[in-house]
Structure 1
Amino acid sequence: MASEGTLDRPLIVRTAVELADRDGVAAVSMRHIAGRLDAGVMSLYRYVGSREDLNDLMVDAVFGERPLPSPGPDGWRAKLELSAREEWALYLDHPWMSHLVAVTTRPPMAPNLLAYTDWRMRAVDGHGLGFATMVQVAIMTGTYVQSAAIPLAYETQTARASGHTRQQWARARQAAIHRTLDAAELPMVSGFGMEAFQASEPANIFEFGLHRMLDGIAVLLEQD
């Protein structure tokens, strides 16, 4: 069993992230972490007070892998795009993380995550926006990336559990697809072919939506 001297918070957090990377965030528990570390479950609570604290620490550790540069590229658009791509890369490496940060009004208390929000606000500072609007731009950017990453997380989880890619799933479901299309009048959806299938991949949806969001922010800044 691990001795008191060998346990510390960074080790516990690294182990939690490794478990989530391997089995998904639902598999992370104090019991599983203790098992990996050959430690007593209660000994972990000396370093991590609760599961919510652990979630905060996991998110902070992952965002710490990709700190945003200072000062970054020139121009607000290049800055926001860079921040979005860096955050997207984190979800590619750790798909489970979107389950902890996406679509919530109670974000993790993770300094490295909040640094992304602060960096995005500074990217649009000096363009005539009020403070609250800068907050909204920063949060909207993060919310967009996080929401786009949720299908990526589910696809990764489903592919791991089933052993089938999305393309293999689509081929196996051809009969059901044809029945669905034949059962309703869907003149647009019925034209859904390989090009559209590829366009609907999570990465391509992310790319499309990112540029449309930045276009919308450009209109906002032009108005001001």
Structure 2
Amino acid sequence: MGLSRERIVAAAVALADRDSMAELSMRRIAAALNVATMSLYRHVPSRDDLVIDMIDAALGELRVPPRYRGDWRADLERCARSLWEVFQRHPWLAPSMSMTRPQPAPNALRFGEWMMGALHPTGLTVTDRMLVQLLLFGFVRGVASNLEPEAEAVRDTGLTDEEWLETQSRAFERFATQHPAPHYEQLFRLDSDFEFDLGVLFEFGLARFLDGIGVWISSRR
């Protein structure tokens, strides 16, 4: 099979998924494809161009429904969950995307357009619809930006989050003794069901975000 832009992007995505974006280089991509490094530049002008193609390829996995349900909240929730799933499959993706300098990725445009369409029945102005979809994207991206550092920590230590916390229990106890914090003591010492889990944070935050937007939309009407 000949070298192509698609093969280069697929190899880059696979390497970033496995080893993180920080470990990605044109040399490593070339090695994975068993080609000379300079041959990549005949298909991908620069690393920045490659990253945009990687973002677009990953976002191409988003499951955008063929039609709306007519319930803006249900439609936005589906969008958010689909985006969260893609970020989980590609932990490098969220930190690679910009809020204020958006990369020209066609699949990002497709996704944003679908979300704005979901909000059309609310009667919000196009500016307000844009702000809502940006804030929702920003929330999901913000939580997902922790996925890659967490995965790197697991690789570096060989410990899951729960196992690492167990190894730190005595250090945390000493810290709590030196810095009294009754609310945290209540949270962690009185049989609380709290856990440091990004999935829990995503679920809680998404529900509260949609609750707030619902109140705001009702007040505008």
C-alpha contact (below 8 Å) 2:84/2:140 kept by paired residues = yes
- By how many angstroms is 1:215 displaced? 0.6
Letter in 1 for 2:26: M
Counterpart for residue 221 of structure 1:
217
Q: In the comparison of the two structures, how many residue pairs are matched?
A: 218
TM-score, normalisation: structure 2: 0.93
Indicate conservation of the 8 Å contact 1:67/1:112, yes or no: no
Structure 1 unaligned segments of length 5 or more: list them. none
Residue 145 (structure 1) shift: 0.4
SS at match of 2:121: coil
Select 1:108's aligned residue among 81, 103, 108. Answer: 103
Q: Structure 2 matches for 1:67-216, cutoff 5 A?
A: 67-101=63-97, 104-193=99-188, 195-198=192-195, 200-216=196-212
Aligned to 1:12: 8
Which residue is 2:31 aligned to?
Answer: 35
Task: Give the drift of 1:196.
Answer: 4.4
Q: 1:67 to 1:192 in 2, by over 3 A?
A: same
The alpha carbon displacement at 1:178 in A equals 0.7
Determine if contact 1:100/1:108 at 8 Å carries over to the other structure: no
Aligned partner of 2:53 among 35, 38, 57: 57
> What's the CA shift for 1:105?
1.3
Secondary structure, in 3 states, of the residue corresponding to 1:16?
Answer: helix
Give the aligned residue type for 1:143: G
Equivalent AA in structure 2 for residue 189 of structure 1: Y
Task: Give the letter aligned to residue 63 of structure 2.
Answer: P
Q: Distance in 2 between matches of 1:66 and 1:127?
A: 24
Partner Cα separation in structure 2 for residue 120 and residue 66 of structure 1: 12
State the 1:211 CA deviation.
0.3
Q: Identical aligned pairs, as a percentage?
A: 37
RMSD (Å) for aligned C-alpha atoms? 1.5
Q: Per-residue displacement from partner, 1:12-45 (whole Å, max 9, x unpaired)? A: 0000011011111111111111111121222111
Higher alpha-carbon deviation: 167-176 or 189-198: 189-198
